[in-house]
Amino acid sequence: MIILRLILLIFIWITPVYGNSIYNLIKIPNLEIYEINTENRLRYLYAKSSFRLGVQKNIICENSNKKDLDNKYNLIYKNLNKYSYNFLKKINLKYIVLCENLSISGINAAGIPDNVMKTLILDVKFEQKYFERVIHHEVFHIINDQHKELFNNNEWKKFNDSQFRYAKCSTCTENLGLDKYENTKGFFTEYSKSTVSEDMAEVYSHLIYLDAEKIKQIQKLDKILNKKISYIKNKIQIIDSSFKF
């Protein structure tokens, strides 16, 4: 035991300190700068090699090849460029981490938002069909986490039919479909029915992703979604009155 301790001490003693600015800022290892000169001052970073996060190291993401990164970066940049520097500052989002095969405790995830670290991790290999909309879905989680006082779960639940119940958590249900319903009936997707915050995020992401005409149409046809859309719009305007949908 003493020898083991001694070896450990020697190892610590001979291990030099390499200040890693990215790690010091957002506590994610193995990252490098992809692009930092952007209009809205978002900093795009990519995984040079796979990394694990969390107290139990249950968040895992792998590095991507350059071609995939370049392709997806353009899409991500186009979508996130809709947000102004001022808005991003208000919601506390600054770093976008690009990697692939992102998972939390073995469950695949499109993104992991962390408003405290001002970071959004995005899986560049997430299904192409939903990819762009999902970016805004994850942005909403940042908004929600940063402005918890604005988004009231009970108010939101009242928009639904009184019989409806959300699942206990976003992964506590098998209904995780992201395809938009033809007949919405108060929910944009199957995944909307999982939890209040996922429902809000789905409304928000469709609000950003779909064109204004389509949204107007939905609002006319679906009374519940009309209330939900108005609610989200109203709250976002409170955060930033100059925000344009």
Partner 1 sequence: MIKKIKATTAEKIIFYFLILLAILTFSTFFIIKNKCLFVKNYDPQKINFDKPNNIAILNATCGNVIIELYPNVSPNSVKRFKKLIISGAYKDIAFHRVIENKLIQAGDLEFGRKGSLNYGKIGTGKSGLGSIKSEVDNKFDYKKGSVGLARTFRNDTEDSQFFIVLQDEPLFEGEYTPVGRVLYGLEVLKKIKYQRHSEYILRPDFINSFKMLN
Positions in the binding site for partner 1 (CB under 8 A)? 12-17, 19, 21-22, 25, 33, 36, 41, 43, 89, 94
Cα–Cα distance for residue pair 44/37, rounded to 1 Å: 9
5 token code pair = 């301790």
Cα–Cα distance for residue pair 130/37, rounded to 1 Å: 27
Q: Which is nearer to partner 1, 2 or 14 (CB)?
A: 14
Q: Cβ 75 to partner 1, closest distance in Å? A: 23
Q: Which is nearer to partner 1, 118 or 228 (CB)?
A: 118
Q: Which residues 6+ apart lie within 8 Å of 93 measured at CB?
A: 42, 83, 113, 115, 118, 119, 120, 139, 142
Q: What is the dihedral of CA 97, 102, 108, 111, to 10 degrees?
A: 0
153 token code pair = 């779960």
Q: Cβ 133 to partner 1, closest distance in Å? A: 28
Q: Which is nearer to partner 1, 33 or 150 (CB)?
A: 33
Q: Which is nearer to partner 1, 15 or 65 (CB)?
A: 15
Q: Cβ 41 to partner 1, closest distance in Å? A: 6
Q: Which is nearer to partner 1, 43 or 206 (CB)?
A: 43
Q: Cβ 37 to partner 1, closest distance in Å? A: 9
Q: Cβ 45 to partner 1, closest distance in Å? A: 9
Cα–Cα distance for residue pair 155/39, rounded to 1 Å: 36
